[in-house]
Chain A
């Protein structure tokens, strides 16, 4: 426990984000820290021959510290919404603000975890985790301390000098999580982070994520198409519609953690969500068939 406190207090406090009051701590007086506000967001992709409305009229306020899952079939715009929050793609209409400031470009106050891990293969595990801290020009010693503490938290201490190619998928995703935790962003954006992992590794990492979320007090927006994963993890599940992406249902999950996937309440929620998601999945399949017929 001591070293964990070390992580949250050491190095970053009073610097960088913290200096701008966005470190996600100091609950009182900073109600907007770590808060995400999506207001009237549309996103239209235009190619030469057609327009695709990926998002339409999205309004969503995510308070600080909430764990939100965006759930829906392929093509419902959940990743588009996440990318807009990250600042990779700006909305066509409307605005997204994080901690009270409009999102205009990617930035370290919104750490992203990708399904493909996106670790830099030419850097060792330690260097990958240190990368964001080096960009902040922290003293070498602070970086070392912080990286070591994070690697320990995620069970990666023995892999510090290894390259990503030597690691399993689950280990790689741990590194990716350590890498965003290192920059101490109040918000974690996760794009199907466990989608490529086997079921057991996935459950382990889900449990670790819950632990990290509780310990580091992050706001998490987590994209998934797995209903069970959403119920297992989230405080709140936002079900999205297939093209154009709108919010179909906004559900609060009131189950206590750790959650029992075989509990009756869990299954009741699962049944409800399955109905909702499958309606959209049917529209997705129909659209796929239609476009195949045109081609």
Chain B
């Protein structure tokens, strides 16, 4: 664990380092300018560089002048940005050629405009009425993101909160497993989307049907993985625990549950992913805010740039959630040996 935690810290430090490299690049640019202008700028820059590494990069570049800047070389901090940047440039060029209507292919610059506008404070809000923070957060994008996220969280907590205990008892008890499994196997393949009509009949419009659908989407992945996780617990841990005097409760909470954690966390990760897919769909039918709703609304006006801006927000939000879950994963499984052993 200690090593994993340490390596996490290292990753963090590495990221900081990467930022510093970025800063170093800026510094290097200044040096370039400084070389043309005065020598004193050059003398200042090394002291202003936070670490030795950027300075060394800079020195190498000045001496050897390799064709590819080190941050862009494979393993460099910006290597992964090469393809997206090229693609965006190509997209911008093609969109500006006028072959396609902006409705079919809006240029990335106008997508970016839309994105920034929607992230900005709402024009109907003001510092006077909403307070500074309220005004800053009054943008449509932030509201929609918050609405979507809160639905994911509530739906996921409901779905996973039901799936986890059920999965634990189904995994632990053969009788309960045999009792519940047929029903679950029949219900499991039905996509949550197929419940949309029924969910509206049952819960009307608004948040309840959306939460229901999201919970449904999170339920099965968590359930199936929890069952599998409990069933795969190595019997030797159970024997060792009983030998040390563990009763049923201690066996369950201190042995079976932690031993099943890697599986359960994998299920949680899949479940959150599903919840995130479902929330967008649910917002397209039942509610009047959230990112899904906003995309559909933009389509009504043929605002393709806004559609894409919304899609990108969804992507970023999904990425954030996944990074968060994976961090949690690494921390909870710091004891786990992983694939390398």
Interface readout for B304-341 with A: 1 if CB under 8 Å, 0 if not? 00000000000000000000000000000011110001
Contact indicator A132/B244 (Cβ below 8 Å): yes
Contact indicator A165/B239 (Cβ below 8 Å): no
Contact indicator A112/B239 (Cβ below 8 Å): yes
State whether the Cβ of A118 lies closer than 8 Å to any Cβ in chain B: yes
- Residue B3 contacts which of A88, A118, A132, A166 (CB distance < 8 angstroms)? A166
Distance, CA A180 to CA B243, complexed state (A):
9
State whether the Cβ of B245 lies closer than 8 Å to any Cβ in chain A: yes
CB A98 to nearest CB in B, in angstroms, measures: 13
Contact indicator A112/B337 (Cβ below 8 Å): no
Contact indicator A118/B237 (Cβ below 8 Å): yes
Secondary structure of the B contact surface, majority rule: helix
List the B residue with the shortest CB-CB distance to A179: B244
State whether the Cβ of A266 lies closer than 8 Å to any Cβ in chain B: no
Contact indicator A131/B244 (Cβ below 8 Å): yes
Contact indicator B259/A122 (Cβ below 8 Å): yes
Distance, CA A164 to CA B261, complexed state (A):
17
Contact indicator A165/B243 (Cβ below 8 Å): no
Distance, CA A105 to CA B242, complexed state (A):
9
List the A residue with the shortest CB-CB distance to B341: A165
Contact indicator A114/B259 (Cβ below 8 Å): no
Interface readout for B236-267 with A: 1 if CB under 8 Å, 0 if not? 11011111111100100011001101000000
Given contacts A135-B250, A162-B1, A165-B336, contact A120 B243 (CB under 8 A): no
Q: What residues of A have a CB within 8 angstroms of the CB of B2 in the complex? A: 161-163, 166
- Residue A110 contacts which of B241, B243, B246, B341 (CB distance < 8 angstroms)? B243
Contact indicator A107/B335 (Cβ below 8 Å): no
Secondary structure of the A contact surface, majority rule: loop
Q: What residues of A have a CB within 8 angstroms of the CB of B261 in the complex? A: 122
Interface readout for A95-138 with B: 1 if CB under 8 Å, 0 if not? 00000000001111011101010111111100000011001100
Contact indicator B1/A114 (Cβ below 8 Å): no
Q: What residues of B have a CB within 8 angstroms of the CB of A106 in the complex? A: 239, 242-243
- Residue B246 contacts which of A116, A121, A124, A135 (CB distance < 8 angstroms)? A135
Distance, CA A107 to CA B242, complexed state (A):
7
Given contacts A162-B1, A163-B334, A165-B341, contact A120 B240 (CB under 8 A): yes
Q: Residues of B within 8 Å of A, CB-based: how many?
A: 25
List the A residue with the shortest CB-CB distance to B255: A120
Q: What residues of A have a CB within 8 angstroms of the CB of B258 in the complex? A: 120, 122-123
A window 63-108: CB within 8 A of B: 86, 88, 105-108
Size band of the interface chain A makes with B? 20 to 34
CB A43 to nearest CB in B, in angstroms, measures: 17
List the A residue with the shortest CB-CB distance to B337: A165
List the B residue with the shortest CB-CB distance to A105: B242
Contact indicator B240/A114 (Cβ below 8 Å): yes
Contact indicator B1/A112 (Cβ below 8 Å): no
State whether the Cβ of A237 lies closer than 8 Å to any Cβ in chain B: no
Distance, CA A136 to CA B335, complexed state (A):
25
Distance, CA A38 to CA B86, complexed state (A):
79
Of B2, B236, B244, B246, most buried by chain A (CB within 10 Å of CB) is: B244
Q: What residues of B have a CB within 8 angstroms of the CB of A88 in the complex? A: 239, 243
Contact indicator A121/B335 (Cβ below 8 Å): yes
Contact indicator A116/B236 (Cβ below 8 Å): yes
Contact indicator B3/A107 (Cβ below 8 Å): no
Given contacts A131-B254, A135-B250, contact A121 B244 (CB under 8 A): no
Q: What residues of B have a CB within 8 angstroms of the CB of A166 in the complex? A: 1-3
List the A residue with the shortest CB-CB distance to B251: A135
Contact indicator B239/A118 (Cβ below 8 Å): yes
State whether the Cβ of A183 lies closer than 8 Å to any Cβ in chain B: yes
A window 243-295: CB within 8 A of B: none
Given contacts A110-B243, A131-B254, A132-B244, contact A120 B237 (CB under 8 A): yes
Contact indicator B336/A108 (Cβ below 8 Å): no
CB B238 to nearest CB in A, in angstroms, measures: 10
Distance, CA A216 to CA B270, complexed state (A):
51
Contact indicator A107/B243 (Cβ below 8 Å): yes
Q: What residues of B have a CB within 8 angstroms of the CB of A111 in the complex? A: 243-244
List the B residue with the shortest CB-CB distance to A107: B245
- Residue B240 contacts which of A107, A112, A164 (CB distance < 8 angstroms)? A112
CB B51 to nearest CB in A, in angstroms, measures: 30
CB A82 to nearest CB in B, in angstroms, measures: 12
Contact indicator B243/A121 (Cβ below 8 Å): no
Q: What residues of A have a CB within 8 angstroms of the CB of B246 in the complex? A: 135
A window 149-174: CB within 8 A of B: 161-166
Distance, CA A199 to CA B119, complexed state (A):
67
Distance, CA A118 to CA B233, complexed state (A):
12
CB B237 to nearest CB in A, in angstroms, measures: 6
Contact indicator A108/B335 (Cβ below 8 Å): no
CB B340 to nearest CB in A, in angstroms, measures: 10
Contact indicator B1/A118 (Cβ below 8 Å): no
A window 216-257: CB within 8 A of B: none
Q: What residues of B have a CB within 8 angstroms of the CB of A162 in the complex? A: 1-2
Q: What residues of A have a CB within 8 angstroms of the CB of B243 in the complex? A: 86, 88, 106-108, 110-112, 180
List the B residue with the shortest CB-CB distance to A108: B245
**Apart from A120-B237, A122-B261, 13 more pairs, CB < 8 Å:** A88-B239, A88-B243, A106-B242, A107-B243, A108-B243, A111-B243, A114-B236, A116-B236, A120-B258, A131-B254, A135-B247, A163-B1, A164-B335
The 8 closest A-B pairs by CB, nearest first: A108-B245, A132-B244, A118-B240, A122-B258, A165-B337, A106-B242, A163-B335, A112-B243
Would you mind naming 9 contact pairs between A and B with Cβ atoms under 8 Å apart?
Answer: A86-B243, A106-B239, A106-B242, A108-B243, A118-B237, A121-B337, A123-B335, A131-B241, A131-B254
Give B residues with C-beta under 8 Å from A. 1-3, 236-237, 239-247, 250, 254-255, 258-259, 261, 334-337, 341
